[in-house]
Chains A and B, each alone.
Chain A
Amino acid sequence: MTPLSPEPATTRPGWDDHDVELLGGDRLGPHWRLLLRAPTIREPFQPGQFLNLSVPGHVLRRPLAPSRHQSSEIELIVTPFGPGTRQLVRLPPGTRLQALAPLGSRFPAPAGDAALVSAGAGAAPLALLAAELLGEGRQVHVFHGAPAGEDQELVEMVYGRLGLDVRYFSEDGSHGLQGFPTEGLTKLLAGGAEVTVYSVGPYSLMRAAAKATRKYGRTGYVSLDVHMACGVGACLSCAVQTRKGQKHACIDGPVFEMGEVVW
């Protein structure tokens, strides 16, 4: 005899597998901007949410957080890194792909204004957030970092078109300010700005942003990019250590409160 389940009825997850069409891609320095037509993804992507995109000839999908979702068009920023992402940016327009979407959690709204700290393709989900925040009349400070000037086109594309004034930091000083974007954040926080901080980029950048945010007693959020397979909570690949125990980036995140993450 099977005992009754003590578990309450769970809410039906909203994700499904969607047919999407690659409309085209533009090169933005070391990154690519890909446009997908996704007529069946009707709910707009919330900032921070992601899709898990198939790559022809590859076993695993690639999790990517959109930078824009307007009518049925989704914009992705892809940085070719391994065989899968290199293949993805070379696909001809018209290629049919599959996307599990929408997946994951969104960035919570700020208490007041916001400071965004990004590097590389981390600018994508933050640009989607920035568009939402600007629409609400909030002030948005943007600090973006790169080794040199290679991210200029990316920054112009995703942040510039929103009318945002981006403080660009290059490690070698060849473009914008010399240093790291967290230095800009620290200066802003030290000046007393009441902002909620959002950071997406390499682990070291997010950790530094979290440290500065904590130092000045502010709240902040990061989006953690952890290798994953299923994207929906089944494979348990994307473990994240938090102060509330072990979580999984795909379903408990990818957005986490900075202070919650064990850095």
Chain B
Amino acid sequence: MSPLETEFLGVTFPNPVVTASGTFNFGREYAHLYPLNKLGAITTKGVSPRPIMGAPIPRITETPMGMLNAIGLENKGVDAYVADELPWLKEQGARVIVNVFGDAAADFAHVARKVSPYADIIEVNLSCPNVHEGNLPFAHDPKAGAEVIHRVKEVTSRPVLAKLSPNGPVLPVAEALEHAGVDGFSLINTLLGMRMDLERKRPVLGNRQGGLSGPAIRPVAVRLVYELYRNTDRPILGMGGIASAEDALEFALAGASLVAVGTATFSNPYAPIKLIEELKRYLETRSESWNDWVGTAHTPN
């Protein structure tokens, strides 16, 4: 057995490396570089009930060891993806985590129901604003977040991951989602940030604020995975600035069963594949397995 093979929510993964939502689209752009089924899984771009145009440009800007983005959740809407991208992705033999979102709990459920035939796991993006309840993101409101999970669980038999935001109260939200029946967690989503344009004397991004990702946020992410692991028995998909085997193993120690590569794919489109190879070498030289590392930082010395 490969030292990287692992089981997560009843799905067997050949390795624990998945792509992060929004950084890999639906995989088609990278499919000529390497077979997509070599990845642990692909997490798709966020899918909403209807098409969304997204935010004004600039949508992206670099920051020290990171980047800010405000794409504005641009996507073609669930019907377009169910018609082409998702069936194509399944044909590639890839394991698929479909990221879903909406304006209201019923919207999340609508998308989750439609994508379920193509999804190994559903990831619920709770960082979007709850437009019917004061625009507070679902991930900042335990009650609203729980309602989303409850509605999604009603319509799908697939395991449901809740993607948590570091900008809200992580532990109280996670606890409420657990009561609502969530199967696992992914974290962290991006940290809100802003960068100013000194020429225009205005924020750089068209949306003014954006989400910070990349190596700059890694310690924040490791800490939150660690804290969440202490407070839940649900499995965790960890992410935030992961590029190297060492980065991924930090997350494993903190408690992540799977890890996602996001921004690193923009630096190098081979980043997820390189990470899988590096991890394999690292563990093989030590005659260890990935599972040996998961949560190990929490065991008594």
Residues of A within 8 A of B (CB): 1-7, 10, 12-13, 16-17, 54, 58-61, 82-84, 98, 100, 226-230, 232-239, 246
Contacts and interface: CB of A to CB of B under 8 A. Distances in A.
Contact of A59 (B54, B65, B87, B88): B65
Contacts of B83: 6
A237 B25 CA distance: 12
Contacts of B66: 59
A230 B111 CA distance: 27
Nearest to B56: A239
Interface string B76-92: 00000001110110110
A2 B263 CA distance: 31
A59 B268 contact: no
A228 B62 CA distance: 10
B194 to A, nearest CB: 15
Nearest to A3: B87
Contacts of A236: 25, 45, 54, 59, 71, 74
B266 A61 contact: yes
A234 B57 contact: no
Contacts of B62: 58-60, 82-84
B267 A60 contact: yes
14 contacts: A2-B87, A2-B90, A17-B268, A17-B269, A54-B268, A59-B266, A60-B266, A61-B267, A83-B62, A235-B25, A237-B57, A237-B69, A237-B71, A239-B57
Contacts of A227: 57-61
Interface residues on B, range: 35 or more
Contacts of B90: 2
Q: Is the interface of B mostly helix, strand, loop or mixed?
A: mixed
Nearest to A248: B74
Interface string B265-290: 11111100000000000000000000
A2, A12, A82, A98, most chain B CB atoms within 10 A: A2
B108 interface: no
Interface string B26-57: 00111011000000000001000000011001
Contacts of B172: none
B117 interface: yes
Contact of B74 (A10, A12, A239): A239
Contacts of A234: 23-25, 29-30, 265
B88 A5 contact: yes
Contacts of B101: none
B261 interface: no
